[in-house]
């Protein structure tokens, strides 16, 4: 019954909208902290899940034996719909990984029976990464040796959830993983930010449209002989996009996470992470979508997380309960 519910809810994927934003902070003492939101049009009934070392895992496939592995690094994370669909997590080596919606662009590899034992679905990838690797470099090498296909039911394209991924480690390295037209794309991520569509390299190029932005206030400027005076502070970031589209969230997260005063330590980095999360939050009713003829107003951050990779602490909160919990 639970699996049927999963498939019914996932079948809405072609009609709902999703918004997720992630970013990285590196404190002066070297502490690495990552943070993210998870917005959805309906409640994914997410729960905290813990997977211990030694757990035997098998990839989700449609009738063939997929990739299997024994978990090398235990991990904690947040699942979806009570299933092994890990959306976000942190392992005991300090590696963080998460899924982000990638509509219109995700194109996975074909499911080839001859290579089924090195194949896993898009839903398995985060668990496979967290269970097997300690660094971004390890992930970049290993992912070239496996195949990732889009899991469906009865070959329905509706259920082929489009995702891309962000992976961070304790050195501060970050890689974005995308599958487009069946090809693997790995993007080193110097600014540590991810959102949704378009592809990551488009977002990086789009930052050039905001080359004028700065944290420093502009007090006045000249228009011919006329002096234009600032009427308030914040003029350096005048033009920073404030809407909830993926490109705008990416730009906002990039400037907030890289332009804020650098935190000194773990405590300050975690606190800053939550402040930036607040700037990305979407109150109910500000994004309205129509799903199967019904008006949906609950496109909200059902949960948000801040992860201290250095000290292996997973913090999270939900839309309904702003109290911060930790694992």
Q: Is the pLDDT of residue 175 over 50?
A: yes
Q: Is the pLDDT of residue 3 over 60?
A: no
pLDDT tens digits, one per residue of 44-97:
778 999 999 999 999 987 677 899 999 999 999 999 877 778 999 999 999 999
Least confident of 18-22, 187-191, 213-217, 265-269: 18-22
Residue 52: other Cβ atoms inside 10 A: 10
Give the mean pLDDT of 291-318.
87
* In the block, residue with structure tokens 């090498």: 141
Question: In CATH, what class is 2-200+261-326?
Answer: alpha beta
pLDDT at 300: 83
**Which pair of structure tokens corresponds to residue 89?**
């997590």
- Residue (of 299, 290, 297) closest to 14 by Cα position: 290
pLDDT at 2: 47
Structure-model confidence comparison of residues 133 and 291, the more confident one: 133
**Which pair of structure tokens corresponds to residue 291?**
């799903």
pLDDT tens digits, one per residue of 6-39:
544 554 544 455 679 999 999 999 999 999 999 8
Domain chopping of the chain, boundaries:
2-200+261-326
H or E stretch at 6: helix 2-10
Cβ distance 294 to 55 under 8 Å?
A: no
Give the mean pLDDT of 174-187.
98
pLDDT tens digits, one per residue of 59-72:
987 677 899 999 99
Residue 248: other Cβ atoms inside 10 A: 16
The values of phi and psi at residue 89, to 5°, are: -170, 170
pLDDT tens digits, one per residue of 144-158:
999 999 987 555 555
pLDDT at 4: 44
Q: Is the pLDDT of residue 159 over 70?
A: no
Task: Classify strands 220-223 and 183-188 as parallel, antiparallel or unpaired.
Answer: unpaired
| pLDDT class of 309 with cuts at 50, 70, 90 | very high
pLDDT tens digits, one per residue of 192-207:
999 999 999 999 999 9
pLDDT tens digits, one per residue of 199-247:
999 999 999 999 999 999 999 999 999 999 999 999 999 999 999 999 9
- Residue (of 17, 8, 43) closest to 156 by Cα position: 8
């Amino acid at each position: 019954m639970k699996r049927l519910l999963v498939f019914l809810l996932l079948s809405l994927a072609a009609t709902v909208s999703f918004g997720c934003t992630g970013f990285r902070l590196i404190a002066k003492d070297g502490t690495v902290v990552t943070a993210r939101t998870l917005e959805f049009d309906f409640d994914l009934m997410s729960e905290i899940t813990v997977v211990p070392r030694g757990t035997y895992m098998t990839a989700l496939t449609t009738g063939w034996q997929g990739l299997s592995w024994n978990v090398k690094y235990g991990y904690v994370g947040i699942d979806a719909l009570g299933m092994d669909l890990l959306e976000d997590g942190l392992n005991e080596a300090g590696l963080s990984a998460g899924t982000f919606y990638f509509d219109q662009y995700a194109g996975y590899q074909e499911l080839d029976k001859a290579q089924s034992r090195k194949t896993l679905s898009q839903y398995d990838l985060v668990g496979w990464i967290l269970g097997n690797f300690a660094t971004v470099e390890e992930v970049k090498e290993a992912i070239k040796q496996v195949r990732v296909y889009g899991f469906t039911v009865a070959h329905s394209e509706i259920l082929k959830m489009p995702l891309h991924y962000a992976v961070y480690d304790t050195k501060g390295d970050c890689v974005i993983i995308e599958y487009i037209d069946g090809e693997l794309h790995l993007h080193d991520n110097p600014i540590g930010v991810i959102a949704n569509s378009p592809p990551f390299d488009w977002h990086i190029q789009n930052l050039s449209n905001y080359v004028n932005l700065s944290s420093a206030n502009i007090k006045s400027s000249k228009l011919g002989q006329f002096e234009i005076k600032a009427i308030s502070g914040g003029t350096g970031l005048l033009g920073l996009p404030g809407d909830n589209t993926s490109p705008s969230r990416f730009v906002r997260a990039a400037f907030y996470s890289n332009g804020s005063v650098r935190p000194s330590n773990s405590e300050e980095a975690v606190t800053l992470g939550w402040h930036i999360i607040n700037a990305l939050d979407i109150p109910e009713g500000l994004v309205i979508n129509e799903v199967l003829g019904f008006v949906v107003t609950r496109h909200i951050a059902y949960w948000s997380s801040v992860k201290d990779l250095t000290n292996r602490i997973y913090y999270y909160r939900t839309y309904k309960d702003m109290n911060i919990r930790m694992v």
